C-alpha cells in the first residue's frame, strides 16, 4: 500500500548527505526483499558457500545493520558498496544467492573488507567479528572467500553508488521516502514491478549503463548489474566439501524438525 504524501520522508539528493538511519532502512528493505525471493529457491549442494549458516539468524537484517553502524562507525559508501558487491558476485557466480542463510555473514564480511580497503580508519577484525556475532577465525576465512569471489576488485565509482541510492529510494516497499526536489516518489508498485515481474521502468540516460537483473523464483536475485558481466553458463558439479556441508545442513534441519514435532506432542 502506498504511503500518503504526509507520511513520506524527504531525503537528500546525494547519498553522502543522507542520514545513516535512513540509509540503513533503505538497504535493509532491499535485502529483506531479496532474501524473501531467494529463500524460495531450493538449496542445492553446488550452491553452498562458506557464507551459508545452518539456520537463519534470529536478528533481523535491519537490526543487524543498526548494530554494525552503532559499534563500527561504518561509512555510508561502505554500506552502499555491499549492494554493488552482491551484484558483482551474482554476475560472476550465478549459483550464489543472498538468502536468509547467507545475508548476515555476507554483510559483515563486505563491510569489513570495504572498510579496510577504502577507508583511512577502520576497526580490527576482533571487533567486526564480535559485532557480527562470529569468531575471528571465521571472519578471516570469510574475508578470503569474499575477496576471491569479487576477484579482489574493491573499487566502485561514486556515480554507481549514487545510482544504487536512487534505486533504493524509488523501489522502497512502503514508498516512505522521496528524494528532495523530485516529483516522482518511490512506491510499492514500482518495487513490485521490478522484482516480481522482472520488468524495469525506462531508465534515464545517466544510468543507461545499468539495468535491473530479472528476478524470478528459479534464479538468484540481485539489484543492478552491468550488461554483459554475467558468467558463462557452465555446468558445475558440487565439490566434496559442498556435498558434506549439504548433508550436514540437511541432517541439522531434519533434527530441528523432529524436535519441533516432539515439542508439539508434549
C-alpha cell read off for 242: 559442498
pLDDT average, residue stretch 57-63: 96
The DSSP element (H or E) to which 240 belongs, if any, is helix 240-265
Question: Taking Cα atoms as reference points, which of 66, 72, 65 lies closest to residue 122?
Answer: 72
Please tell me which of 42-56, 112-126, 220-234, 246-260 the model is most confident about, judged by mean pLDDT. Answer: 112-126
C-alpha cell read off for 1: 500500500
pLDDT average, residue stretch 116-142: 95
Residue 239 to residues 29, 42, 104, 220: CA-CA distances in angstroms?
A: 34, 18, 24, 20
Question: Could you tell me which residues come within 8 angstroms of residue 182 by beta carbon, excluding any fewer than 6 positions away?
Answer: none
**pTM across the whole model:** 0.71
Residue-level pLDDT at 189: 41
Question: Taking Cα atoms as reference points, which of 15, 66, 27, 12 lies closest to residue 181?
Answer: 12
Residue-level pLDDT at 176: 87
**C-alpha radius of gyration, the chain, whole number:** 19
Q: State yes or no: pLDDT of 82 exceeds 80.
A: yes
Q: State yes or no: pLDDT of 208 exceeds 70.
A: no
Residue-level pLDDT at 251: 60
What crossing angle do the helices spanning 103-118 and 20-38 adopt, rounded to 10°? 140
Compare 129 and 225 and report the one with higher pLDDT: 129
Residue in the structure block whose three cell numbers are 531479496: 34
Q: State yes or no: pLDDT of 161 exceeds 80.
A: yes
* Average pLDDT score over the chain: 77
Amino acid at each position: 500500500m502506498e504511503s500518503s504524501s504526509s507520511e513520506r520522508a524527504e531525503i537528500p539528493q546525494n547519498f553522502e548527505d543522507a542520514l545513516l538511519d535512513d540509509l540503513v532502512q533503505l538497504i535493509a528493505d532491499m535485502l529483506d526483499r531479496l532474501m524473501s525471493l531467494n529463500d524460495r529457491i531450493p538449496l542445492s549442494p553446488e550452491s553452498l558457500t562458506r557464507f551459508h549458516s545452518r539456520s537463519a539468524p534470529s536478528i533481523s537484517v535491519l537490526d543487524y545493520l543498526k548494530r554494525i553502524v552503532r559499534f563500527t562507525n561504518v561509512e555510508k559508501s561502505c554500506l552502499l558498496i555491499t549492494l554493488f558487491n552482491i551484484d558483482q558476485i551474482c554476475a560472476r557466480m550465478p549459483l550464489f544467492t543472498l538468502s536468509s542463510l547467507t545475508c548476515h555473514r555476507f554483510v559483515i564480511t563486505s563491510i569489513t573488507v570495504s572498510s579496510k580497503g577504502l577507508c583511512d580508519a577502520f576497526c580490527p577484525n576482533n571487533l567486526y567479528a564480535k559485532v557480527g556475532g562470529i569468531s575471528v577465525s571465521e571472519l578471516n576465512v570469510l574475508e578470503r572467500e569474499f575477496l576471491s569471489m569479487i576477484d579482489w576488485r574493491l573499487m566502485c565509482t561514486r556515480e554507481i553508488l549514487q545510482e544504487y541510492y536512487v534505486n533504493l529510494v524509488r523501489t522502497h516497499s512502503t514508498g516512505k521516502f522521496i528524494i528532495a526536489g523530485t516529483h516522482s516518489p518511490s512506491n510499492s508498485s514500482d518495487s513490485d514491478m521490478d522484482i516480481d515481474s522482472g520488468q524495469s521502468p525506462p531508465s534515464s540516460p545517466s544510468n543507461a549503463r545499468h539495468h535491473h537483473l530479472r528476478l524470478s523464483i528459479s534464479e538468484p536475485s540481485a539489484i543492478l548489474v552491468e550488461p554483459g558481466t554475467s558468467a558463462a553458463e557452465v555446468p558445475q558439479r558440487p565439490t566434496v566439501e559442498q556435498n558434506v556441508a549439504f548433508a550436514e545442513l540437511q541432517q541439522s534441519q531434519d533434527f530441528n524438525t523432529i524436535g519441533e514435532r516432539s515439542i508439539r506432542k508434549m
